[in-house]
Amino acid sequence: MIGVYDSGYGGLTVLRHIRRLLPERSTCYLGDSGRAPYGGRDVHTILDFAEQAVERLFDEGCHLVVVACHTVSCVGLRHLQQRYARPDSDCRVLGVAIPAAEIATRTSRGRIGLLATETTVASGTYMTEVAKLGSHTVVSRAAGLLAPLIEEGWEDTELARDALRRYLADLPDIDTLLLGCTHYPLLHAALADVVPSEITVLDPAPFVAERLADWLRRHPGFDTIAAPPVHRMLCTGDPSRFARHGRRFLGQPLPTVEAIAEVGGRLALRRSDRTPMGQIVR
Protein backbone atom coordinates (compact mmCIF):
# COMPACT_ATOMS: atom_id res chain seq x y z
CA MET A 1 0.00 0.00 0.00
CA ILE A 2 1.30 3.44 -0.98
CA GLY A 3 0.84 6.19 1.59
CA VAL A 4 0.28 9.77 0.47
CA TYR A 5 0.56 12.56 3.02
CA ASP A 6 -0.39 16.22 2.76
CA SER A 7 -1.21 19.05 5.13
CA GLY A 8 -4.81 18.95 3.89
CA TYR A 9 -6.69 18.59 0.63
CA GLY A 10 -4.03 19.58 -1.90
CA GLY A 11 -2.21 16.25 -2.02
CA LEU A 12 -5.37 14.72 -3.46
CA THR A 13 -4.33 16.33 -6.76
CA VAL A 14 -1.17 14.18 -6.58
CA LEU A 15 -3.14 11.10 -5.51
CA ARG A 16 -5.40 11.58 -8.54
CA HIS A 17 -2.45 11.10 -10.89
CA ILE A 18 -0.97 8.25 -8.85
CA ARG A 19 -4.24 6.33 -9.01
CA ARG A 20 -4.58 7.04 -12.73
CA LEU A 21 -1.05 5.86 -13.50
CA LEU A 22 -0.95 2.97 -11.00
CA PRO A 23 -4.55 1.68 -10.84
CA GLU A 24 -3.45 -1.70 -9.50
CA ARG A 25 -1.87 -0.19 -6.35
CA SER A 26 -3.63 0.24 -3.01
CA THR A 27 -3.35 3.68 -1.40
CA CYS A 28 -3.86 5.31 1.97
CA TYR A 29 -4.16 9.10 2.01
CA LEU A 30 -3.62 11.19 5.14
CA GLY A 31 -4.75 14.82 5.07
CA ASP A 32 -3.80 16.84 8.15
CA SER A 33 -6.65 19.26 7.50
CA GLY A 34 -7.35 19.84 11.17
CA ARG A 35 -3.91 21.47 11.58
CA ALA A 36 -3.62 23.12 8.16
CA PRO A 37 -2.31 25.36 6.77
CA TYR A 38 1.35 24.51 7.29
CA GLY A 39 2.73 27.37 5.19
CA GLY A 40 3.02 29.91 8.00
CA ARG A 41 4.11 27.53 10.78
CA ASP A 42 7.61 27.28 12.21
CA VAL A 43 9.81 24.50 10.88
CA HIS A 44 9.95 22.44 14.08
CA THR A 45 6.17 22.30 14.35
CA ILE A 46 6.03 21.15 10.71
CA LEU A 47 8.57 18.40 11.46
CA ASP A 48 6.55 17.25 14.49
CA PHE A 49 3.36 17.05 12.41
CA ALA A 50 5.17 15.29 9.56
CA GLU A 51 6.65 12.65 11.87
CA GLN A 52 3.22 11.89 13.32
CA ALA A 53 1.62 11.63 9.87
CA VAL A 54 4.31 9.41 8.36
CA GLU A 55 4.30 7.13 11.40
CA ARG A 56 0.50 6.82 11.16
CA LEU A 57 0.81 5.72 7.53
CA PHE A 58 3.49 3.19 8.46
CA ASP A 59 1.15 1.87 11.17
CA GLU A 60 -1.55 1.49 8.51
CA GLY A 61 0.72 -0.87 6.57
CA CYS A 62 2.34 1.54 4.13
CA HIS A 63 6.04 0.89 3.49
CA LEU A 64 6.32 3.68 0.91
CA VAL A 65 5.09 7.19 1.73
CA VAL A 66 4.90 10.05 -0.76
CA VAL A 67 5.04 13.46 0.94
CA ALA A 68 2.74 15.33 -1.42
CA CYS A 69 3.02 18.61 0.51
CA HIS A 70 5.56 20.98 -1.06
CA THR A 71 6.12 22.73 2.27
CA VAL A 72 7.06 19.49 4.06
CA SER A 73 9.07 18.26 1.06
CA CYS A 74 11.07 21.48 1.06
CA VAL A 75 11.88 21.68 4.77
CA GLY A 76 11.48 18.17 6.19
CA LEU A 77 12.00 15.44 3.59
CA ARG A 78 15.67 14.85 4.42
CA HIS A 79 14.80 14.64 8.12
CA LEU A 80 12.05 12.10 7.44
CA GLN A 81 14.30 10.02 5.21
CA GLN A 82 17.13 9.96 7.73
CA ARG A 83 14.74 9.08 10.54
CA TYR A 84 12.69 6.38 8.82
CA ALA A 85 14.30 5.30 5.53
CA ARG A 86 17.55 3.91 6.93
CA PRO A 87 19.40 1.14 5.07
CA ASP A 88 18.20 -1.41 7.67
CA SER A 89 14.56 -0.29 7.30
CA ASP A 90 11.92 -1.54 4.87
CA CYS A 91 10.28 1.91 4.80
CA ARG A 92 10.88 4.65 2.23
CA VAL A 93 9.80 8.30 2.06
CA LEU A 94 9.68 10.21 -1.23
CA GLY A 95 8.78 13.85 -1.89
CA VAL A 96 7.57 16.21 -4.60
CA ALA A 97 10.23 18.96 -4.60
CA ILE A 98 12.95 17.15 -6.57
CA PRO A 99 10.58 15.83 -9.28
CA ALA A 100 9.04 19.31 -9.53
CA ALA A 101 12.48 20.91 -9.96
CA GLU A 102 13.35 18.31 -12.61
CA ILE A 103 10.25 18.91 -14.73
CA ALA A 104 10.57 22.69 -14.31
CA THR A 105 14.15 22.75 -15.64
CA ARG A 106 13.18 20.38 -18.43
CA THR A 107 10.26 22.63 -19.43
CA SER A 108 11.77 26.09 -18.95
CA ARG A 109 13.97 27.92 -21.42
CA GLY A 110 15.83 29.57 -18.56
CA ARG A 111 13.57 31.65 -16.31
CA ILE A 112 11.30 29.90 -13.80
CA GLY A 113 8.74 31.61 -11.62
CA LEU A 114 7.73 29.80 -8.43
CA LEU A 115 4.38 30.36 -6.74
CA ALA A 116 4.32 28.69 -3.32
CA THR A 117 3.74 29.07 0.41
CA GLU A 118 5.85 31.35 2.57
CA THR A 119 7.76 28.44 4.15
CA THR A 120 8.46 26.79 0.78
CA VAL A 121 9.84 30.03 -0.62
CA ALA A 122 11.88 30.81 2.52
CA SER A 123 13.47 27.34 2.46
CA GLY A 124 15.27 28.08 -0.81
CA THR A 125 14.94 24.39 -1.70
CA TYR A 126 13.74 24.99 -5.25
CA MET A 127 16.59 27.36 -6.00
CA THR A 128 19.03 24.75 -4.67
CA GLU A 129 17.53 21.84 -6.60
CA VAL A 130 17.18 23.78 -9.86
CA ALA A 131 20.80 24.97 -9.57
CA LYS A 132 21.89 21.31 -9.47
CA LEU A 133 20.17 20.69 -12.79
CA GLY A 134 21.01 23.73 -14.88
CA SER A 135 21.70 27.45 -15.06
CA HIS A 136 18.05 28.50 -14.83
CA THR A 137 17.00 31.56 -12.85
CA VAL A 138 14.29 31.03 -10.21
CA VAL A 139 12.14 33.91 -9.00
CA SER A 140 9.82 33.04 -6.10
CA ARG A 141 6.61 34.55 -4.78
CA ALA A 142 4.96 33.55 -1.50
CA ALA A 143 1.20 33.45 -2.05
CA GLY A 144 -0.32 32.85 1.37
CA LEU A 145 -3.86 33.85 0.37
CA LEU A 146 -4.32 31.32 -2.43
CA ALA A 147 -4.68 28.04 -0.50
CA PRO A 148 -7.37 29.42 1.88
CA LEU A 149 -9.28 30.82 -1.11
CA ILE A 150 -9.23 27.41 -2.77
CA GLU A 151 -10.32 25.63 0.39
CA GLU A 152 -13.31 27.98 0.52
CA GLY A 153 -14.19 26.91 -3.03
CA TRP A 154 -13.43 30.36 -4.47
CA GLU A 155 -10.79 29.29 -6.99
CA ASP A 156 -12.86 30.38 -10.00
CA THR A 157 -13.86 33.82 -8.74
CA GLU A 158 -12.73 37.36 -9.48
CA LEU A 159 -11.26 37.45 -5.97
CA ALA A 160 -8.90 34.61 -6.91
CA ARG A 161 -8.02 36.30 -10.20
CA ASP A 162 -7.27 39.57 -8.45
CA ALA A 163 -5.06 37.79 -5.89
CA LEU A 164 -3.13 36.10 -8.71
CA ARG A 165 -2.66 39.41 -10.55
CA ARG A 166 -1.22 40.97 -7.42
CA TYR A 167 1.13 38.06 -6.68
CA LEU A 168 2.37 37.87 -10.26
CA ALA A 169 2.40 41.59 -11.10
CA ASP A 170 6.06 42.30 -10.31
CA LEU A 171 7.53 39.00 -11.47
CA PRO A 172 10.32 39.65 -13.95
CA ASP A 173 10.18 38.08 -17.39
CA ILE A 174 9.62 34.32 -16.93
CA ASP A 175 8.80 31.54 -19.38
CA THR A 176 7.52 28.91 -16.89
CA LEU A 177 5.38 29.29 -13.77
CA LEU A 178 5.84 26.36 -11.39
CA LEU A 179 2.91 25.71 -9.06
CA GLY A 180 4.72 24.93 -5.81
CA CYS A 181 1.64 24.06 -3.77
CA THR A 182 -0.68 21.12 -4.42
CA HIS A 183 -3.75 23.35 -4.01
CA TYR A 184 -2.87 25.54 -6.95
CA PRO A 185 -3.88 23.22 -9.83
CA LEU A 186 -7.49 24.04 -8.93
CA LEU A 187 -6.76 27.60 -10.06
CA HIS A 188 -6.39 26.45 -13.68
CA ALA A 189 -9.28 28.61 -14.97
CA ALA A 190 -8.12 31.73 -13.11
CA LEU A 191 -4.51 31.15 -14.17
CA ALA A 192 -5.58 30.80 -17.80
CA ASP A 193 -7.19 34.25 -17.56
CA VAL A 194 -4.31 35.95 -15.74
CA VAL A 195 -1.06 34.38 -16.99
CA PRO A 196 0.10 35.39 -20.49
CA SER A 197 -0.25 32.59 -23.04
CA GLU A 198 3.49 32.51 -23.76
CA ILE A 199 4.19 31.39 -20.15
CA THR A 200 3.85 27.67 -19.40
CA VAL A 201 1.89 27.03 -16.20
CA LEU A 202 3.34 23.84 -14.75
CA ASP A 203 1.55 21.49 -12.37
CA PRO A 204 4.23 18.98 -11.33
CA ALA A 205 1.75 16.38 -10.00
CA PRO A 206 1.63 14.21 -13.18
CA PHE A 207 5.43 14.06 -13.25
CA VAL A 208 5.55 13.16 -9.54
CA ALA A 209 3.31 10.18 -10.34
CA GLU A 210 5.57 9.22 -13.25
CA ARG A 211 8.67 9.35 -11.04
CA LEU A 212 6.89 7.20 -8.45
CA ALA A 213 6.01 4.62 -11.11
CA ASP A 214 9.63 4.64 -12.25
CA TRP A 215 10.83 4.14 -8.65
CA LEU A 216 8.52 1.14 -8.25
CA ARG A 217 9.81 -0.36 -11.51
CA ARG A 218 13.36 -0.03 -10.21
CA HIS A 219 12.39 -1.62 -6.87
CA PRO A 220 10.27 -4.62 -7.88
CA GLY A 221 8.50 -6.37 -5.04
CA PHE A 222 8.85 -3.42 -2.67
CA ASP A 223 5.09 -2.78 -2.55
CA THR A 224 2.72 -5.74 -2.59
CA ILE A 225 -0.27 -5.54 -4.94
CA ALA A 226 -3.69 -6.45 -3.58
CA ALA A 227 -6.50 -7.64 -5.82
CA PRO A 228 -8.66 -5.65 -5.95
CA PRO A 229 -6.81 -2.51 -4.78
CA VAL A 230 -7.96 -0.87 -1.56
CA HIS A 231 -8.17 2.91 -1.11
CA ARG A 232 -8.38 4.46 2.35
CA MET A 233 -8.73 8.07 3.44
CA LEU A 234 -7.70 9.57 6.80
CA CYS A 235 -8.00 13.16 8.02
CA THR A 236 -7.43 15.09 11.23
CA GLY A 237 -10.27 17.51 10.58
CA ASP A 238 -13.99 17.01 10.06
CA PRO A 239 -14.44 13.87 7.90
CA SER A 240 -17.70 15.06 6.31
CA ARG A 241 -16.17 18.39 5.33
CA PHE A 242 -13.07 16.60 4.04
CA ALA A 243 -15.19 14.30 1.88
CA ARG A 244 -17.21 17.23 0.54
CA HIS A 245 -14.29 19.49 -0.40
CA GLY A 246 -11.89 16.66 -1.20
CA ARG A 247 -14.03 15.61 -4.16
CA ARG A 248 -13.00 18.80 -5.98
CA PHE A 249 -9.30 17.94 -5.57
CA LEU A 250 -9.49 14.21 -6.36
CA GLY A 251 -11.94 14.66 -9.22
CA GLN A 252 -14.25 11.92 -7.92
CA PRO A 253 -16.05 10.93 -4.71
CA LEU A 254 -13.78 9.94 -1.85
CA PRO A 255 -13.96 6.58 -0.07
CA THR A 256 -15.20 6.71 3.52
CA VAL A 257 -13.08 9.27 5.37
CA GLU A 258 -11.79 8.04 8.72
CA ALA A 259 -11.10 10.52 11.52
CA ILE A 260 -7.73 10.59 13.28
CA ALA A 261 -6.54 12.81 16.10
CA GLU A 262 -3.40 13.40 18.14
CA VAL A 263 -3.31 11.23 21.27
CA GLY A 264 -0.17 11.20 23.38
CA GLY A 265 1.94 12.69 20.60
CA ARG A 266 0.75 10.23 17.95
CA LEU A 267 -2.10 10.21 15.46
CA ALA A 268 -4.71 7.61 16.31
CA LEU A 269 -8.02 6.57 14.76
CA ARG A 270 -11.00 8.29 16.36
CA ARG A 271 -14.60 7.14 16.34
CA SER A 272 -16.48 9.90 14.51
CA ASP A 273 -19.71 9.02 16.34
CA ARG A 274 -18.00 9.96 19.61
CA THR A 275 -17.14 13.51 18.56
CA PRO A 276 -18.04 15.67 21.59
CA MET A 277 -20.52 18.51 21.18
CA GLY A 278 -21.14 21.66 23.16
CA GLN A 279 -19.17 22.63 26.28
CA ILE A 280 -16.38 20.18 27.07
CA VAL A 281 -14.72 19.63 30.48
CA ARG A 282 -11.77 17.28 30.80
5: nearest Cα among 79, 42, 58: 58
**What pLDDT shows up at residue 274?**
60
Cα dihedral: 145, 148, 151, 157 (round 10):
-40
Distance CA 243, CA 29 (A): 12
Distance CA 215, CA 213 (A): 5
pTM: 0.93
Helix 239-250 with 12-21: angle, nearest 10 deg = 60
**What pLDDT shows up at residue 223?**
77
**What pLDDT shows up at residue 235?**
97
In words, the CATH class of domain 2-96+207-271 is alpha beta
CATH 3.40.50.1860 occupies which residues in the chain?
Answer: 2-96+207-271, 98-204
Distance CA 239, CA 244 (A): 9
* Residues annotated catalytic, as ranges: 69, 181
Pick the CATH number of 98-204 from 3.40.50.1860, 3.40.50.300, 1.20.1530.20, 3.40.190.10: 3.40.50.1860
**What pLDDT shows up at residue 112?**
98
**What pLDDT shows up at residue 39?**
79
From first to last of the 282 residues of the chain, give the pLDDT tens digit: 999 999 999 999 999 999 999 999 999 999 999 998 887 889 999 999 999 999 999 999 999 999 999 999 999 999 999 999 877 788 999 999 999 999 999 999 999 999 999 999 999 999 999 999 999 999 999 999 999 999 899 999 999 999 999 999 988 889 999 999 999 999 999 999 999 999 999 999 999 999 999 999 998 877 778 789 999 999 999 999 999 999 999 999 999 999 999 998 999 998 755 666 777 676
